[in-house]
Each structure stands twice: as structure tokens, then as C-alpha cells.
Amino acid sequence: MITTREFRIEDYDSAVDLWHRVEGVEIAEGDSKEDIARYILRNPGVSRVAQEGTKIIAAVLCGHDGRRGVIYHLAVDPAYRRQALGKRLVEECLNALRTAGIKRALLLVAKNNASGRSFWHRCGWEDIPAALVMGIDL
Ligand SMILES: CC(C)(COP(=O)(O)OP(=O)(O)OC[C@H]1O[C@@H](n2cnc3c(N)ncnc32)[C@H](O)[C@@H]1OP(=O)(O)O)[C@@H](O)C(=O)NCCC(=O)NCCS
């Protein structure tokens, strides 16, 4: 049986292993164990995992800054895809954001991740062609 629950810091190693195994997720600045611990403390219950038995089979990070929600690093183990698990975790994230009063959420998809983009479209997300993503290292 597959169950879902909040992402706990004890899930970190399994989640990183999953993120390394899937295509389309890039581990970057802010993804150390200490950083993720701080992130989930700031956004309790919003990041999610799915497990079968004790095995972590899907994970997603989500949080908000009080105005916009953001989703990062959604990954479903290849052996468990197309069973609505990705959609289920995303819905749980969005429900947690709604409960926090957030009205809009954003995410980044790598330009070469065509299947990830198709998934987000199927889940109702829209492209934002008028915007360009920018960043700076601190
Ligand atoms: C993208 C990903 C999370 C989808 O997970 P999943 O559990 O297989 O997706 P779901 O079964 O919940 O699919 C939800 C909907 O999207 C569709 N979908 C899923 N993957 C798709 C794909 N590659 N192409 C087109 N549609 C897709 C499903 O058919 C379903 O449509 P429906 O609701 O009309 O039936 C998974 O393929 C994955 O981990 N990919 C690698 C990591 C990645 O790219 N993450 C996104 C980073 S931005």
C-alpha cells in the first residue's frame, strides 16, 4: 500500500538518492541536509513524500514566502509512475498552500525536460511566456 505524509528530515538521504536517480531534477545550492531541515521547519507539512512500506518512492519540496508558493524537486521512482502519484503529491502541496492563504504557486522546469513539462500541463499548470527566470548567487 502506498501512503503519503509530510517530508521529514529523516527522509533526506532517501530523497537525495531518488533525486539523483531521476532525470529532470538538479541538486543545487540550498539542497544540503542543513538547508532542507531549515526549509521544512519554515514550511511545516507542505513538502511531501510517498512511501511503500519503508521505501520512499516519491518526494517533493514545497513552501511559500507569504505571497507565492513554490514547488521544487518533484520526483516519482520510475517503477511507480503513471499511477497518479505525482499528481497526488502536488495536490497535497497545493492544498497546504491554500490552507496557508496562498493564491498562486510557481515552479521551474528545465528547458530540456519535455516530459516534466507535459506532466505539469496535464495537472493544469500554465507556461508564463512573458517572464524570464533570473538568479544571483549570495
Ligand atoms: C513528472 C513525474 C513527477 C510524473 O509523475 P507520475 O506519478 O508518473 O505522474 P501522474 O501519474 O501523477 O500523472 C498525472 C497526469 O500527468 C500525465 N503525465 C505523467 N507523466 C507524463 C509525461 N511524461 N508526459 C505526458 N503526460 C504525463 C498523466 O498521464 C496524468 O494525466 P491524467 O491526469 O490526464 O491522467 C515523473 O515522471 C518524474 O518523476 N519525472 C522525473 C522528474 C521530473 O521531471 N520532475 C519534474 C521536475 S520540474
Cα 56 to averaged position of ligand 1 atoms, centre (Å):
17
Q: 109: pLDDT confidence band, cut at 50, 70 and 90?
A: very high
pLDDT of residue 98: 98
pLDDT of residue 101: 98
Cα 119 to averaged position of ligand 1 atoms, centre (Å):
4
> Looking at 10-138, which runs of residues are DSSP E strands?
48-52, 55-64, 68-76, 104-107
Cell numbers standing for residue 95: 492544498
pLDDT of residue 24: 95
Q: Tens of pLDDT along 14-35? A: 999 999 999 999 999 999 999 9
Cα 125 to averaged position of ligand 1 atoms, centre (Å):
12
Q: Tens of pLDDT along 32-91? A: 999 999 999 999 999 999 999 999 999 999 999 999 999 999 999 999 999 999 999 999
25 lines ligand 1 (CB under 6 A): yes
pLDDT of residue 131: 95
- Structural domains in the chain? 2-122 (3.40.630.30)
Closest CA to 93 of 39, 27, 55, 43: 43
**Helix-, strand-, coil-residue percentages of the chain, each rounded to 5:** 35, 25, 40
Q: Which residue has the CA at smallest separation from atom 46 of ligand 1?
A: 116
